[in-house]
Chains A and B, each alone.
Chain A
Amino acid sequence: MTHDATAAVNPIRIKDVSGFYGPSRVLDSINLEIPRNRITAIIGPSGCGKSTLLKCFNRLIDLVEGASYSGQIIVDGVDVLGKDADVLEIRRKIGLIAQKPTPLPLSIFDNVAYGPRIYGQKDRAELEKIVRHYLEVAGLWEEVKDRLKTPAINLSIGQQQRLCLARGIAVDPEILLCDEPTSALDPVSSQHFEEQLKLLKEKYTIVIVTHNIHQAMRLADYVAYIYLGELIESGPAAEVFENPKDERTKAYIKGVFLNDLPPEAGERSGSNPEDFGGRDEDPDVQHGRILVPGLSEGD
């Protein structure tokens, strides 16, 4: 896959971003461009700093005790990390889907209407339209249309995550950050959620943090590999997965495959890097994902 015109326009520019928890540096001068209207996966082992990087985008890191950061993240010409940046507007524009589905203690309807209401939408009919629209976009409408007034916590965990998706896009963001959004879900729900994300990239710039390399392969147009707080390699997904330039990237992709797939498949994949490009249809990848649920668990 190559950069095409729309993706190259107005990318998100991460310039020299470092992150700290107390005195320890968890992100080391990250420089990266994230193309618009594409899915970019940030991959890396647990604790490599990828979630911290994600939390910088919408300044959620401000809420983390002891965390600090430096550098710039330029979105539409504005430095998100700047001192006088409008954090509330940034968070509206840059949504986040958390690792654990977290419905607000409200009804299904009120969860989706929460954002629009904050931004002043009071008209009931208008809210109903908005809620329906975003539930449809999140692929949840058909399942919940008859029980919009019931508590959101009664939904299954997979439905909860799609509700969070609907709630997240109901404030009309441009960028969607996903922090291991399927790691708490079962395989079927994960697949459902991934399909929604693929549909959404037409409209949103999606940045997904995952340590599920299969998920990155299935979803991502672009990939950035972070290891020990350092950006090791980035580029179009096909290039990085099929032909990693850095030894560490190679080892990570290979290591995950060897541990993950059944022995024969692992050997074959290991000896033949071309197979890495396999997408959804690749039976081994699907197989591997369902066989090894441990891989899709949280940090």
Chain B
Amino acid sequence: MDRVTEERAMKGLMIAALTIVVGSLIAIIGVVVWKGLPSLSIEMLTETPRGGYYTSTGGGGILNAIVGSLYLAFGSTLIALVISVPAAFALQDEYLGRTRYAGRLRLALDVLWGTPSIVYGAFGFIVMLYLGIRASLLGGIIVLTLLQIPIMIRAMEEVIRMVPREIKEASAVLGATRWETTTRVVVHQVAPGIITAVLLAFGRGIGDAASVLFTAGYTDSLPGSLFEPVASLPLAVFFQLGMPYPEVQARAYTAALILLVIVLLLSLASRALAKRFRKNILR
């Protein structure tokens, strides 16, 4: 193969790869919109199901799953964030970074990141049995928090590690403490990356079905308290798609569509937020 042909072949390969990626994305969105849009109605968004989610006769909406998913995802993301930020900073050079533990922790977090969510679900189930808690909003939040933490820590940690030493020194030479440097300078530098990390984890949390299957359960009513079962959009998709009635299956696609829109809206919001922080950062 001569050099020009080689160049063309590689270019073709890249275009093909991109086509597959963009094509599948469009296909996914297309199918969900095509199948889900017809059943989308105000009723779907504002009402809980009548007569059970698995029957074609009932009607009503999937507000229970929408509210449930938002509770689960926001609750767990918030807790995971509170735990992950200090943990990510702890892995930096100034703290644990120079010891051998940092490397081991990163490895452990990577393994956790890659752990299938059904394993988290099964683990959560055992813990709940042991503690005598039944499937509930609290159980779901705890397991989703565990699911999100490794993603958040690792994604944040990579960003925090990229902060130039000079910037920290520039703050230190003015007499700032490490805490002041972190909260007044480093934060500005890493904010866009932290927002991205949070979004990444939130997306995993809100979209995960397996981990909430045993831990949060499912219900037709709105979540009443932390200790009651709660519905979620991924499980609304899962259960309704498994029913032999086309009307119920269509509602599954509507649930998927709503899930997609929530994630999309959050992505856009976080991008706008990140942009505000990014303007002061040299790239």
Check A89 against B164 for contact (C-beta < 8 Å).
no
Residues of A within 8 A of B41 (CB): none
Contact of B176 among A98, A102, A105, A118 (CB under 8 A): A118
Q: How large is the interface on B (under 10, 10 to 19, 20 to 34, 35 or more residues)?
A: 20 to 34
Q: Known contacts A65-B98, A151-B279, A153-B282: does B167 contact A102 (CB below 8 Å)?
A: yes
Residues of A within 8 A of B168 (CB): 63
The answer to whether A15 has its CB under 8 Å from any CB of chain B is no
Binding site for B on A (CB under 8 A): 58, 60, 63, 65, 88-92, 95-96, 98, 100, 102-107, 114-115, 117-119, 151-153, 164, 167-168, 171
Given A90-B175, A118-B175, A164-B170, output 16 extra A-B contacts at Cβ < 8 Å.
Answer: A92-B175, A95-B173, A98-B170, A100-B166, A102-B164, A102-B169, A104-B171, A104-B185, A105-B188, A114-B171, A114-B176, A114-B185, A118-B184, A151-B279, A152-B280, A153-B280
| 20 intermolecular pairs with C-beta atoms under 8 Å apart | A63-B168, A90-B175, A91-B172, A92-B174, A96-B173, A98-B169, A98-B170, A100-B166, A102-B167, A102-B170, A104-B171, A105-B185, A105-B280, A105-B282, A106-B188, A114-B184, A118-B175, A118-B184, A167-B170, A168-B173
Check B169 against A105 for contact (C-beta < 8 Å).
no
B178-217 contacts to A (CB < 8 Å): 180, 184-185, 188-189
Check A168 against B282 for contact (C-beta < 8 Å).
no
Residues of B within 8 A of A115 (CB): 174-176
Residues of B within 8 A of A118 (CB): 174-176, 180, 184
Closest to B178 in A: A63
Check A151 against B175 for contact (C-beta < 8 Å).
no
B100-149 contacts to A (CB < 8 Å): none
Considering the chains assembled together, what is the distance between the CA atoms of A54 and B180 in angstroms? 24
B70-99 contacts to A (CB < 8 Å): 93, 98
Minimum CB–CB distance from B273 to chain A (whole Å) comes to: 16
Minimum CB–CB distance from B241 to chain A (whole Å) comes to: 47
Considering the chains assembled together, what is the distance between the CA atoms of A102 and B98 in angstroms? 25
Residues of A within 8 A of B19 (CB): none
Minimum CB–CB distance from B280 to chain A (whole Å) comes to: 4
Residues of A within 8 A of B180 (CB): 118
Closest to B277 in A: A105
Could you mark each residue 263-281 of chain B with 1 if its beta carbon is under 8 Å from any beta carbon of chain A, else 0? 0000000000000000111
The answer to whether B24 has its CB under 8 Å from any CB of chain A is no
Residues of B within 8 A of A168 (CB): 173-174
Residues of B within 8 A of A152 (CB): 280
Minimum CB–CB distance from A152 to chain B (whole Å) comes to: 7
The answer to whether B177 has its CB under 8 Å from any CB of chain A is yes
Considering the chains assembled together, what is the distance between the CA atoms of A117 and B90 in angstroms? 26
What are the 4 A-B residue pairs with the smallest beta carbon separation, nearest first?
A92-B175, A91-B175, A96-B173, A102-B166
Check B280 against A106 for contact (C-beta < 8 Å).
yes
Minimum CB–CB distance from B178 to chain A (whole Å) comes to: 10
Considering the chains assembled together, what is the distance between the CA atoms of A114 and B93 in angstroms? 24
Residues of A within 8 A of B171 (CB): 104, 114
Residues of B within 8 A of A153 (CB): 280-282
Q: Find the residue from B172, B176, B280 having the highest chain A CB count within 10 A.
A: B280
Closest to B174 in A: A115
Residues of A within 8 A of B185 (CB): 104-106, 114
Closest to B168 in A: A63
Check B174 against A63 for contact (C-beta < 8 Å).
no
Minimum CB–CB distance from B159 to chain A (whole Å) comes to: 13
Considering the chains assembled together, what is the distance between the CA atoms of A102 and B172 in angstroms? 12
Considering the chains assembled together, what is the distance between the CA atoms of A31 and B15 in angstroms? 66
Closest to A93 in B: B175
Closest to B281 in A: A105
Q: Known contacts A102-B169, A105-B185: does B282 contact A171 (CB below 8 Å)?
A: no
Minimum CB–CB distance from A38 to chain B (whole Å) comes to: 21
Closest to A114 in B: B174
Check B174 against A95 for contact (C-beta < 8 Å).
yes
Contact of B166 among A90, A91, A98, A114 (CB under 8 A): A98
Minimum CB–CB distance from B157 to chain A (whole Å) comes to: 19
Residues of A within 8 A of B280 (CB): 105-107, 151-153
Considering the chains assembled together, what is the distance between the CA atoms of A153 and B167 in angstroms? 12
Q: Known contacts A102-B164, A151-B280: does B174 contact A60 (CB below 8 Å)?
A: no
Minimum CB–CB distance from A67 to chain B (whole Å) comes to: 13
Residues of A within 8 A of B98 (CB): 65
Residues of A within 8 A of B173 (CB): 58, 60, 91, 95-96, 98, 168
Minimum CB–CB distance from A139 to chain B (whole Å) comes to: 20
Q: Known contacts A105-B185, A152-B280: does B174 contact A167 (CB below 8 Å)?
A: yes
